[in-house]
Amino acid sequence: MEWLPEADPGHAEDDGTLSRVLCGRIAALALVVCSILLMVSDLVIPGDRSVPGLLVSCGASIAVGVLAWWFPWGRFGRWTVLAVIPFAFVAVGLTWVYADRNGFNYSVTFVVIFALVGLALPRWTALRLAPFLVLAYLVPLFATTGPVATIGLGSAVFVVPMCVVLGEAIAWAMHRFAIAEGEVAEGAASIQQLFDEAPIGISKLGLDGRLLEVNRAYAEIHGYRREDMVGMAIRDLTHPDDREENRVKIERLLAGDLDRFHLERRSLRSDGRIAWVSLNGSVVRDAQSEPVFMIGQIEDITERHALRDQLARNAVTDPLTGLANRKLFMEHLDMALAQAETRGRHVALMFLDLDRFKLVNDGIGHDAGDRLLQRVGQRLQHALRPGDFLARFGGDEFTVLCEVTGEEDVPEIVSRLRTSMATPVSEVDFEQFVTLSIGVALSTTATMLPSALLRSADIAMYQAKRSGPGRYVVYSPDGDDDAGMSLRTSNELHRAIQESQLVLHYQPFVDVERLTVIGTEALVRWQHPTRGLLPPAEFVDLAEECGLMVDLGSWVLRQACRQGAAWAAAQSATGARHRAPSMSVNISPQQLAEPGFCEFVLSVLEETGYPADRLWLEITEGALLRDPTAAIAILRALRTLGVHLSIDDFGTGYSSLSYLKRLPVEALKIDRSFVEHLETGSDDRAIVEAIVALGRTLGLHVVAEGIERPGQAIELAARGCHVAQGFLYGRPVDPSVIGPSLPVSISDWLTGNRLTAV
């Protein structure tokens, strides 16, 4: 309905506006139409009336009607409209005078006035007004005489019902409009509430790029008050780096290229901070499709963004040092190789390893060890040239990428790195000198694979490490290639210890005559993820070389004691009165030399509850020969704990008898090589006899290992050796095969398919 003003949601609270305007205009229309009818009828119907007077009076009515049409009814309250009514009466009066008291004219004017009253008092229905209406209509007519009265009274028959019908129609129309208005107002109010309370930020943006209105969330995201944001330029609220993209999107939106757009951009907050927002922009167009304003909906995604950034950073950053991690390093290596090639230069890949870090770490504690690594990372970073790239490769290994003209550049870079470690790393709780073993590999051809370069540097570092702490070696292809394999294994072994890839298998000791199980020896294996179950020969020496033996051995001792305690518990649960089975654990020379080893053994016994007098530690002669005095001291200390000691692989070392006498050991384990040909070789027989005799002289037990055939067992027993170990009695097996409690007799051990060859 174009002849009515559009509902303005901004003024929804001003109810009745529409109906007042509507009724005002109905009245105006009625006045004009009736006046025209009156004029026409008076001119057509013959009678003695003054034509000019008629024209004046009708013209005045029409003029009033036209004015009434344009009258701003909506602006005035209901009472103001009522106040207009007297003026309408004046108009009627004028009409009365100029229309020569024309009764018909009177009737029409009355109808118009009635419409106005109905308009002003919408709740008074015309039916209720009807008695007053009749009175109001008739009284002036009774007061007069002549044709006016006659026509007027006659016309009362249809004027009054007409008034009633018209009044009712007005009342009905106003009622409908009141409802419609209420609905519009209600709808507008709920839209406004939605806008105000929406959890996402909503803005109305003018075509000039300034904010027309924003909701609460929008203001909160930007840290402003709502009212302060009105008039702000969106450009000033957008991060400089995102402005261009934002502008282009808005331009395309207004041009009609886009219906809406989505953008993740940074908003500038009032406090200077940045808020990441997810923005959906759209445009509101008029009936002619011309843009009127834009709507922006934003969601604060700062936290999500930070998390995403963090995750992305974590994926390529070492959390401890903040340096690049292995993944990022490998990516850089790819790029560096490609770039160096185009510039006709080489890539130098340096593999840095902290010397004796394991010992340092154990000495100062892991927390301090972590801080040491952080400081080292910082120092290395500062020592590098711009453009060089440093990463923490894992553990105490760092890698550096440098672009060089050739090998001649390497000493200078190495010297920088070394100089950075010239002073000790000082923290409140420790002070530590750090030396680095450095392996360097130079890219030779463009087609060189990053992994090959890395492997070369790895090998060179290993060579450097072998030649002593603080050394560096530049890889040469003629170098020992086995070293590469070993080093890979060493890195893997390091991980294996941390990631519990090690397992213990147990092999029984047997009383040869009674055929009972005296105890077991714990033998370590490595459940390698790709190479399968590895025997100790493949990694124990390596662990010694790389300083991992202490960690490895500690794990073995703890695990073996736990297992021994579990078997002892299972045995006592059955009510058996046997002593707990003994547990033999091999101890490496490095473990023995480790300060605090004795305390460590004690702590393991306490922790696991395994009785000290059931634990046997097997030490090789080599370990004892390194530093005999120290070895004797530590062995004595171990004996005071109640732990038993035996010499493993006895006969392969060079222990002198006098030395052996001073050792607090209680058993000798004859090396397998001497029992191998016991049935046939007279030399072996003689050696075994000599060892058994030696044991008897020194008061030591003698144990034979590597018994595979019954003949060997018989020979042994004949020579007075009553404890043996060997495949004949049982191979080393996984504890799950043995079951919850250790069998007492070897036949029990052997039966039930318990044994699986390993």
CB burial of 263-273 (b: ≥16 within 10 Å; e: otherwise) equals: bebbbbbeeee
- Which partner, Mg ion, ligand C2E, none, binds residue 535 by CB below 5 to 8 Å per kind? ligand C2E
Helix, strand, or coil here: 727?
A: coil
CB atoms within 10 A of CB 191: 12
Residue 588 in contact with ligand C2E, rule: CB under 6 A: yes
What's the closest the beta carbon of residue 311 comes to Mg ion, in angstroms?
49
Indicate the residue type of 587. Answer: I
Minimal CA–CA distance to 279: which of 254, 246, 255? 246
Site string for Mg ion, 649-668 (x = CB under 5 A): x-------------------
- Which residues lie closer than 8 Å to 696 by C-beta, 6 or more apart? 702, 720
Binding residues for ligand C2E, rule CB under 6 A, total 24
For CA atoms 616, 617, 618, 621, give the dihedral sign. Answer: negative
Site string for ligand C2E, 707-726 (x = CB under 6 A): xx----------------xx
Strands 425-427 and 701-705: unpaired
- Which partner, Mg ion, ligand C2E, none, binds residue 732 by CB below 5 to 8 Å per kind? ligand C2E
What's the closest the beta carbon of residue 707 comes to ligand C2E, in angstroms?
6
Residue 618 in contact with Mg ion, rule: CB under 5 A: yes
Select the span of 184-192, 383-391, 648-656, 725-733 touching Mg ion (CB under 5 A). Answer: 648-656
Helix, strand, or coil here: 426?
A: strand
Angle between helix 326-343 and helix 450-466 axes, rounded to 10 deg? 110
| CA 107-109-114 angle, 5° bins | 95
- Which residues lie closer than 8 Å to 153 by C-beta, 6 or more apart? 138, 141
Taking CB under 6 A as the criterion, the residue among 103, 450, 706, 735 binding ligand C2E is 706
Residue 237 in contact with ligand C2E, rule: CB under 6 A: no
Based on CB atoms, which residue is closest to Mg ion, 318 or 649?
A: 649
Based on CB atoms, which residue is closest to Mg ion, 100 or 618?
A: 618
What's the closest the beta carbon of residue 649 comes to ligand C2E, in angstroms?
5
Q: Which of residues 492-531 bind ligand C2E (CB under 6 A)?
A: 507, 523-524
The Cα 134–Cα 218 span in angstroms is: 62
Residue 347 in contact with ligand C2E, rule: CB under 6 A: no
Residue 732 in contact with ligand C2E, rule: CB under 6 A: yes
What strands, in cross-sheet order, belong to the sheet with 472-474?
Answer: 389-394, 397-404, 346-354, 436-442, 472-474
Based on CB atoms, which residue is closest to Mg ion, 413 or 522?
A: 522
Structure tokens at 694: 């030696």
What's the closest the beta carbon of residue 669 comes to Mg ion, in angstroms?
5
Select the span of 331-339, 375-383, 602-610, 641-649 touching Mg ion (CB under 5 A). Answer: 641-649
The Cα 377–Cα 678 span in angstroms is: 59
Select the span of 82-90, 510-518, 574-582, 584-592 touching ligand C2E (CB under 6 A). Answer: 584-592
CA gyration radius, the chain? 53
Residue 377 in contact with ligand C2E, rule: CB under 6 A: no
- Which partner, ligand C2E, Mg ion, none, binds residue 348 by CB below 5 to 8 Å per kind? none
Based on CB atoms, which residue is closest to Mg ion, 602 or 647?
A: 647
Which residue's entry shows tokens 């654990």?
585
What's the closest the beta carbon of residue 588 comes to ligand C2E, in angstroms?
4
Beta bridge partners of 725: 705
Contact 732, 696 (CB under 8 A): no
- Name the region of 636 (left: φ>0; alpha: ψ -120 to 50; beta: rest): alpha
Contact 519, 584 (CB under 8 A): yes
Residue 434 in contact with ligand C2E, rule: CB under 6 A: no
- Which partner, ligand C2E, Mg ion, none, binds residue 540 by CB below 5 to 8 Å per kind? ligand C2E
Residue 648 in contact with Mg ion, rule: CB under 5 A: yes
Q: Using CB under 5 A as the criterion, which residues of the chain lie in contact with Mg ion when the complex forms?
A: 586, 618, 648-649
Q: Using CB under 6 A as the criterion, which residues of the chain lie in contact with ligand C2E when the complex forms?
A: 507, 523-524, 535-537, 540, 553, 556, 586-588, 618, 648-649, 672, 705-708, 725-727, 732
